[in-house]
Chain A
Amino acid sequence: MTSPPIPSPHPEGVPPVSPVPVRLAHERPLRLGPASWLLRLRSAAAALVLLAAAVLLMALNMRLGDIPMSVAEVFRAVTGDGPDHFVVMELRLPRALTGVLVGAALALAGAITQAIARNPLASPDVLGVTTGSSVAVVGVIVTAGSAAGGAGGALASVGVPLVALAGGLAGALAVYLLAWRGGLDGYRLVLVGVGVSAVFTNVKYWLLTVGDVTDSGRAMVWISGSLNGRGWEHVVPVAIALAVLVPAALAGTRSLGVLRFGDDTVTGLGVRTNLARGLLILAAVLLAAVATAAAGPIAFVALASPQIALRVAGVAQPPLVVSALCGAVLVTAADLAARTVAAPAELPVGVVTAVLGAPYLIYLLIRARRGARA
């Protein structure tokens, strides 16, 4: 059947195929009945590679410890129940999983924050979460320090995460309430967040000078972010938070995609700006707070992962899934390095995330110039 030279109305209601398909080479529409998505091949490939890297790094990580193992032995211990089964399942797997999940949660929180603030420098610090957690925990460690019997035992394993969670949520609530004024302007939120974070950060610095130097050192380890001695009790909350909030955030991607335009445009497009923004910020806050409670405010993950992800995936705005996987890989790789560089001593993982992530981000920045991108 040849098409007529002059387009005629189609009685079946099938629209005519546009002679020039408006489609980019690396994007394919994926249709499933009435629903359709834009499948970005480069994003999908990046996600798969990052997932594989995360699993591999986890396995490499789980070799380390008092009893060194090979990767094959690790896999055997996970599946079977040899003598190492207990060590791997109860000690090493939870630690590795905490790293992966915390990295993903922080990166996701960062991606949402950066999209809402429309600012590549924004991170959950700006929402008051991580700084709120830090100041609360440093306060507890310094005041309940060596002089008062030390922050050990139950306080260290249950109390500190709870204090961190409470501090993070309180910080976020303070920012939110102070920024709310008949609506939530992304710009005002960020500025208020900067002010509140400055208070928290400087109070934290001051608290570090109050206690004795040993307690300050221990507080420094926590505020750097550490995966040392993390067990299933740290994995479960982060896993639950991710299970609930990742689908929620993905459902909000549509709004997230348009929120980068000005408020008037967004409202014109039929998005309820305050509601969409409020829900997405809530998701970011919860993710960051739970992750921080589990492993401390691991530096740089929330800020760098979305920026790395959007450059790797070649898109304009931080992609959520790729960002989360970037975060997972970054934290796991950093943990591996933190345990091998100064072995047998162990650095806090947050010290290494920046050492690994910063050069890579810089490399991407420099390479972007050759890619002829603005």
Chain B
Amino acid sequence: MSTAVTPVRPPASGRPRPARPRPSLVLAGLLGAVAVAAVLSVMVGARPVPPADVWHALTGPTGTENDIVVSSLRVPRTALGLLAGVALGVAGALMQGHTRNPLADPGLLGVTQGAAFAMVAAIMVFGVTSLYGYIWFGLAGALVASVGVFALGMAGGGRGGPTPVTLALAGTAVSAFLYALTSAMVLMDEQAMDVFRFWQAGSIAGRGADVAWQVLPFVAAGLVLALVNAPGLNTLALGEDVARALGQNVALTRTVGVAAITLLSGAAVAACGALAFLGLMVPHLARPLSGPDHRLLLPYSGLLGAAALLGADVVGRVVARPGELEVGVVLALLGAPFFVALVRRRKPLRL
């Protein structure tokens, strides 16, 4: 009887909707990947530490050599990698959502070049020499640069906040401007050049626990803002006019989004160098799993970012023994072919 009553739902557009895995499964899988990457990151290195010793060092350290390696080198490095990976992944997804531009990376707001400029200026002008010292400058530079870009985008965008195109162009212009000033300074000062080129290559090695603690509050604040921003971003994806007609405060949504991007990517970039393209690629990898819903896309991107950054770091420690390859170059060499294959495989989702 019920079979006669139940209406057959007509196919919406002739084609079945692409099947997407259940969110709980994806989240579990991604969390597992991050956990595996983190464990490997603590174990693998110039001096391999067996799992039993890792456990020993984490639960009841007694000052053995492996305990010291784990607690003073590996754990801070892994923690920083986790923070930076999550931050860049989420920031990248936010950035592409807000600009609706698949080329947008979190560095587009000027954070990377802002950080670079401030750090090089700190080295040259104020004679700052400690890593801990110039990361503060890098953070400040990243924040100032992106606030400046947002203000310019605002000025160019008219009411309703900056439009994606003006924001992206203003960001590119400011980045190019700051990069030029940085290059000029670096070309005049060999010592600054030496620091700059290693920062630019992108690395999470040798940073110590201080840096992870330094970055943590910024990343935490950024993540909260990002999650708050997700539903608004979904509405905004329908177009600004539709969003406004639905009663959304477009300018507020944009401001919250930009604040989140700034905090997340500024902190990550200042501490780890020019890794912003991680934020460019990760959302493209996450989007097939999540679809267009930013409430799923943001967490997926964050977890994928962390797994990718830690995984690439582990690979960089293994391939160039006894030395190490910077995580920036490993990420590009491993991530880009994957990214290209993904782009080729299917018709890319348009933003």
| Chain A residues within 8 Å of B, Cβ to Cβ | 119-122, 126, 178-179, 181, 187-188, 190-192, 194-196, 198-199, 201-203, 205-206, 208-209, 213-214, 216-217, 220-221, 224, 299-300, 303-304, 307, 347-348, 350-355, 357-359, 361-362, 365-366, 368-369, 374
Please determine whether B173 and A199 come into contact, CB atoms closer than 8 angstroms.
Answer: no
One of A179, A350, A365 near B156 (C-beta < 8 A): A365
Q: What's the A-B contact tally at a CB cutoff of 8 Å?
A: 168
Please determine whether B201 and A304 come into contact, CB atoms closer than 8 angstroms.
Answer: no
Tell me if B180 counts as interface (CB < 8 A to partner A): yes
Tell me if B46 counts as interface (CB < 8 A to partner A): no
Please determine whether B332 and A192 come into contact, CB atoms closer than 8 angstroms.
Answer: no
Q: List B contacts of A121 (CB < 8 A).
A: 101, 103-104, 168-169, 172
Please determine whether A198 and B194 come into contact, CB atoms closer than 8 angstroms.
Answer: no
Q: Give the nearest-CB partner of A373 in chain B.
A: B158
Number of interface residues of B (CB under 8 A): 57
Please determine whether B187 and A205 come into contact, CB atoms closer than 8 angstroms.
Answer: no
Q: List B contacts of A178 (CB < 8 A).
A: 340, 344
Please determine whether A205 and B201 come into contact, CB atoms closer than 8 angstroms.
Answer: yes
Q: Give the nearest-CB partner of A347 in chain B.
A: B184
For the complex of A and B, the 7 pairs showing the least CB-CB separation, nearest first, are A202-B332, A365-B156, A354-B180, A358-B177, A354-B176, A206-B329, A358-B173
What is the CB-to-nearest-CB distance from B344 to chain A, in angstroms, rounded to a whole number?
6
Chain B 93-116 per-residue mask, 1 if CB under 8 angstroms from chain A, else 0: 000000001111000000000000
Tell me if B333 counts as interface (CB < 8 A to partner A): yes
Known: A205-B201, A354-B177. A365 touches B170 (CB 8 A): yes
Known: A198-B336, A202-B332, A299-B180. A220 touches B170 (CB 8 A): no
Identify which of B56-64, B67-75, B220-228, B277-285 touches chain A: B277-285
Q: List B contacts of A355 (CB < 8 A).
A: 177, 180-181
Q: Give the nearest-CB partner of A361 in chain B.
A: B173
Chain B 151-183 per-residue mask, 1 if CB under 8 angstroms from chain A, else 0: 011011110000101101110111011011101
Please determine whether A120 and B165 come into contact, CB atoms closer than 8 angstroms.
Answer: yes
Q: Give the nearest-CB partner of A206 in chain B.
A: B329
Q: List B contacts of A361 (CB < 8 A).
A: 169, 173
Please determine whether A194 and B103 come into contact, CB atoms closer than 8 angstroms.
Answer: yes
Known: A192-B340, A355-B181, A365-B156. A348 touches B169 (CB 8 A): no
One of B183, B336, B343 near A199 (C-beta < 8 A): B336
Q: List B contacts of A216 (CB < 8 A).
A: 193, 197
One of B165, B184, B194, B333 near A213 (C-beta < 8 A): B194
Q: Give the nearest-CB partner of B179 in chain A.
A: A354
**Cα–Cα distance between A126 and B284 once the two chains are bound (Å):** 17
Please determine whether A203 and B333 come into contact, CB atoms closer than 8 angstroms.
Answer: yes
Tell me if B259 counts as interface (CB < 8 A to partner A): no
Q: Give the nearest-CB partner of A360 in chain B.
A: B173
Q: List A contacts of B329 (CB < 8 A).
A: 202-203, 205-206
What is the CB-to-nearest-CB distance from A114 to chain B, in angstroms, rounded to a whole number?
11
**Cα–Cα distance between A126 and B102 once the two chains are bound (Å):** 12
One of B101, B183, B331, B339 near A119 (C-beta < 8 A): B101
Interface residues of B in 320-340 (CB under 8 A from A): 325-326, 328-329, 331-333, 335-337, 339-340
**Cα–Cα distance between A268 and B328 once the two chains are bound (Å):** 45
Please determine whether B174 and A358 come into contact, CB atoms closer than 8 angstroms.
Answer: yes
Tell me if B206 counts as interface (CB < 8 A to partner A): no
Please determine whether A369 and B158 come into contact, CB atoms closer than 8 angstroms.
Answer: yes
**Cα–Cα distance between A363 and B54 once the two chains are bound (Å):** 57
One of B101, B183, B335 near A224 (C-beta < 8 A): B183
What is the CB-to-nearest-CB distance from A111 to chain B, in angstroms, rounded to a whole number?
15
Chain B 122-152 per-residue mask, 1 if CB under 8 angstroms from chain A, else 0: 0000000000000000000000000000001
